Amino acid sequence: MEFKNLSLTQDGRVGIIAINRPKALNALNTKVLLELDAVLDELEKNPEVYVIVLTGEGKAFVAGADIEEMKDMTPDEARKFAELGSRVFKKLEIINKPVIAAVNGYALGGGCELAMACDIIIAGEQAKFGQPETGLGITPGFGGTQRLPRIVGTKRAKEIIFTGEIIGAEEAYRIGLVNKVVPPNTSFQAAIEMAKKIASKGQIAVRNAKAAINRGIETDIDGGVAIENQLFALCFANTDQKEGMTAFIEKRKADFKN
Ligand code: CO8
C-alpha cells in the first residue's frame, strides 16, 4: 500500500514508521489512523522485520488527535473515531514484534496514548508528554484513562488527566512513563540502537516474552505464571532455543535463524 501520511522504511531488521504530517504536528486524523492500521498489518506479516520503531517527522511525535476533524463531530461520530483509534492502538500494543516509540517533541493527548501503546518509549530531553483533553472539554479517547494509570499509578494519572498538565521528559522518566531520556534530537538513533540489540536476540523468545507480559499483566499472578509457563515451553519447539543454549555451551555467539 502507498502511504501519504506516514513513511515506512527499513534499517536491517528494524521497520521504521514515521508519521508525516509535520505541519499539523502529526495530529492523528482518520486517514493517519487508517494508514497506521495498514502499515501494522504489513509489518506484522513481514518476516524480515523483527522490531519496529515508531516516530514522528518534525518537532512533534504526535500533538494529539486532530482537533479540526473532531470539532463538529456528533457523539456517534466521536464514538466511532475513538473506537477506530483504540482498535489501531490495540493492534500496535499486541503486534507480534516489539515496538519502540522515539519521542523527540510533543506527545500530547492521542500522541501520548500512541506512545503508551508501544512497548518502550525513548524520549529526547525536549520531549513533552500530557493528556490536555480536559482543556478541550473531552476525556482522553484512545485509551489514556486506561493505560496511563496502569503505567504510572492512579494518583499520578488522575492528576495528569484532570489538570491537563504537560510534563517534560525527565519527569516522565521519574514517574516511569518513559524508559530512557537521551540528549535532544537523538531519540531516533537511540531507538534504532535498542531495536538492533533486541533484533540480535532469539525472536521467538522476544515475542513470547512480549505476549506473556501483555497477557499476564491483565490477569492474577497464578494465571500470568501459567501463561508464562506455556510460552516458555513453546520456546523449546524451535531451533532458537537449541542454538542459544548450544552456543552458550560452546562459548560462541548464538546465530539465531528465527
Ligand atoms: N489537531 C489539529 N491540529 C493541530 C493539533 C491537533 N491536535 N496540534 C497542533 N496542530 C496544528 C496547529 O493548529 C497549527 O496549525 P496551523 O499552522 O495551520 O495554525 C500547527 O499544528 C502548529 O501548531 P502550533 O502553531 O499550535 O504550534 P506551537 O509550537 O505554538 O504549539 C502545541 C504546539 C503546544 C503542541 C499546540 O499545537 C497544541 O496545544 N496542540 C494541541 C494539543 C492537544 O490539545 N492535544 C490533544 C488533542 S485531543 C486528543 O488527542 C484526544 C484523543 C482521543 C480522541 C478521541 C476522539 C473522539
Question: 69-106 pLDDT, tens per residue?
Answer: 999 999 999 999 999 999 999 999 999 999 999 999 99
At 180 the pLDDT is: 98
C-alpha distances in Å from residue 44, one per residue of 33, 49, 175: 16, 8, 31
Mutation pick for ligand 1 pocket among 5, 31, 67 (CB with most ligand atoms within 8 Å)? 67
The neighbouring-strand residues paired with 10 are 15
pTM of the predicted protein model: 0.97
Nearest residue CA, atom 13 of ligand 1? 24
Nearest residue CA, atom 21 of ligand 1? 24
pLDDT in tens, 218-249: 999 999 999 999 999 999 999 999 999 999 99
Ligand 1 pocket member 25 (CB < 6 A): yes
At 232 the pLDDT is: 98
Average pLDDT, the chain: 97
C-alpha distances in Å from residue 82, one per residue of 71, 89, 118, 139, 141: 14, 10, 18, 11, 5
* Mean predicted confidence (pLDDT) in 173-197: 98
Per-residue pLDDT at 258 exceeds 90:
no
Kindly list the catalytic residues.
113, 133
Portion of the chain with pLDDT greater than 70, in percent: 100
- Reported as a pLDDT band with limits 50, 70 and 90, residue 217 is very high
Quick check: helix, strand or coil at residue 18? strand
**Ligand 1 closest atom vs CA 66:** 1
CA distance 180 to 191: 10
CA distance 140 to 21: 21
Contact present, 191 and 104 (Cβ < 8 Å)? no
State which H helix or E strand residue 226 sits in: helix 221-235
CA distance 240 to 258: 7
